[in-house]
Structures are given as structure tokens and as C-alpha cells.
Structure 1
Amino acid sequence: MEFEYKKVEPNHRDFQSLIAELNLSLRQMTNDTGESSFVSDAFDPSKDGCIIVYLNDTAVACGVFRYHESEVCELKRMYSNKAGAGSYLLKQLECLAIEKGYRKAILSTRRVNSKAVNFYCRHSYSESRAYGRYVGVDRSICFSKMLVT
């Protein structure tokens, strides 16, 4: 399989299509789409990154990172509907984040989303203390990873 990626803005039609799939999947799993945690209007291309992964010209994965604090970005709206595409996506997002000066990535997901929890653990993310809106939210689990040492 030969994945390719494209840097886009969150209003890109392929990104929106994949996000609709993500929202449906999350609603079925948690009864919440997770949409409230990401506002695409606040996307700043100088600090944030948005990537779509393609396989044979078909969009199969998407993800975003945005500025959290100095040298720290937050991964958001990660989704893949093709085996292997999520790992490829994560690598590309991390590389783009490093290019933009980030040294660490953080994220939050639902504990009940064992597929996501296992995915991040497999990719060297470690459970970390809750931040921002996730402090005191037992259903969430936060992860972090140093991108550069």
C-alpha cells in the first residue's frame, strides 16, 4: 500500500467527509461526537497542521494538531478507516509539528475507546496528567510524547 498525504485546511471537503465518519463512529461508541472540542474556524495555518491521507486517490485518514502552549501541540480529530493509514498519518503529523517548532504532542481520548488508547500506546505515547478541559473528567485519558529530545 502506498499512502500519500496532503496538507489542507479543516474546511477541505475530504477532511469534512472523514470527520463525518469519525463523528458517527464516536457517537455510536460514546453517545458524543467530540465535535465540541475542535472549532475549525480557530485554525491558524502558521501554528496548526491538518493532514489528509490518501490511498489510490481516496481519502482514508485525517488529523489535526494545534498550538497548545510554547513547543507543545495538541492532536485532535484523528481518524482512519484503512489499516495502516493511522500510523502513517500520525508520523506525518508529528513531522509537520516538528517543522513548526513543536517538541511535544499531547492529546485526549475516551477511555472507552480502547482502539485509540492502544494505538497511542503502540506509538510511544504515555499516559499523562489531564490538561485544560479534561481536568477532572474521568471518562478521558490524556497522553503525551516528546517529538524531539
Structure 2
Amino acid sequence: MQFTFRETTPSDEDFLNLAAELSSELRALTQDSGESSFQADSFSVASDICLVVYQHEKAVACGSFRKHDSETCELKRMYSKHRGAGSYLINLLESYAVNKGYKRSVLSTRKINDSAVCFYERHGYSEISAYGKYVHTNKSVCLGKSLAT
């Protein structure tokens, strides 16, 4: 499968459209769109990244990371609507993270979202202690991975 990608910002039309699809799917699955966990206005070009993946010039996946701490980034708004695009995307995000100096990647997803949990586990993520706003909820699972440096 041939994919291309573009580095962009959270205000990019393709990113916004894919993120809206993600929100709709999450709302149907979990009764929560996940939008409250991603503040586009806090995006920093210096420490964060936002990517859109294309197949035949059609946007098929999006994702981003933001600075969690000096050595850790947090994956956000990961969404793929084409088989293989998610794996392509997560590999790109991890490569960008290493290039920005991050040594670890973390994320949170809803436990009920089995496909997402399995996807991340297949890509080397494992359960970690809850962090931030996820500490006092039993609906989410936090996952993490050391990045190759």
C-alpha cells in the first residue's frame, strides 16, 4: 500500500475532518467524543507534531503528539479509516518524537475501545500507571512505550 503524509497543524481542514470522524465514532462507542482531551490552541510547533496520512491524495488517517514532559510525548487524536494507515502513522509519529528528543510515548484510550487497545499493544505499548486527568477514572487505560533512540 502506498501512503504519503503531510506535517500540518490542528487547524488543517483534512486533520479537522478526520478528527471529527474520530469524535463521532468515539461518541458512538463510549458516549464521549474525546475532544476535551485535545486543545488545539495549546499546539506548539517546537515540541508537538500533527500529521495527516494520504492514500491516492485522499486523507485517510491523522494523529498528533504533544509534549507530556521533557522526555515524553503523548499521542493524541489517532484515527485511521484505511487498513495499514494507522501502522504507517504511528511509525511516523514515533520517528518524529525521537527526532524531537523524546524517549518515551504515552497515551490514554477507553478500555471499551478494544480495537484501539489491541492496535497499540501490537505496536509495543503496554499498560502504565494512570497519569493526569486519567488517575481517578476507571474508564480509561494508559499505555506507554520506550522509543528507540
For residue 148 of structure 1, what is the amino acid of its counterpart? A
TM-score (norm 1): 0.99
Alignment partner, residue 48 of structure 2: 48
**Superimposed CA distance per residue, residues 108-134 of structure 1 (whole angstroms, 9 cap, x where no aligned partner):** 000000000000000000100000000
Query: Deviation of residue 136 (structure 1)?
Result: 1.9
1:119 maps to which residue?
119
- Unaligned regions of 5+ residues in structure 2, if any? none
Alignment deviations for residues 79-102 of structure 1 (CA, whole Å, 9 cap, x no partner): 000000000000000000111110
Q: What letter matches 1:68 in structure 2?
A: H
Looking at structure 1, the residues matched to 35 and 136 of structure 2 have their Cα atoms a distance apart, in angstroms, of 20
Point out 4+ residue stretches in structure 1 off by more than 3 angstroms. Answer: none
Distance 1:91 1:148 in 2: 11
TM-score (norm 2): 0.99
RMSD: 0.7
Q: CA deviation at 1:19?
A: 0.5
Q: How far apart in 2 are the matches of 1:49 and 1:97? A: 8
Q: Which amino acid aligns with 1:37?
A: S
Q: Matches of 1:51 and 1:81 in 2, distance apart?
A: 14
Partner of 1:38: 38
Cα distance in 1 between the residues matched to 2:46 and 2:27: 31
Q: Counterparts of 2:82 and 2:39 in 1: how far apart (Å)?
A: 25
5+ residue gaps, structure 1, are none
How far did 1:148 drift? Answer: 2.4
What secondary structure is seen at the aligned counterpart in 2 of 1:106? strand
Aligned to 1:23: 23
**Alignment of structure 1 residues 1-149 onto 2, 5 Å:** 1-148=1-148
Aligned length: 149
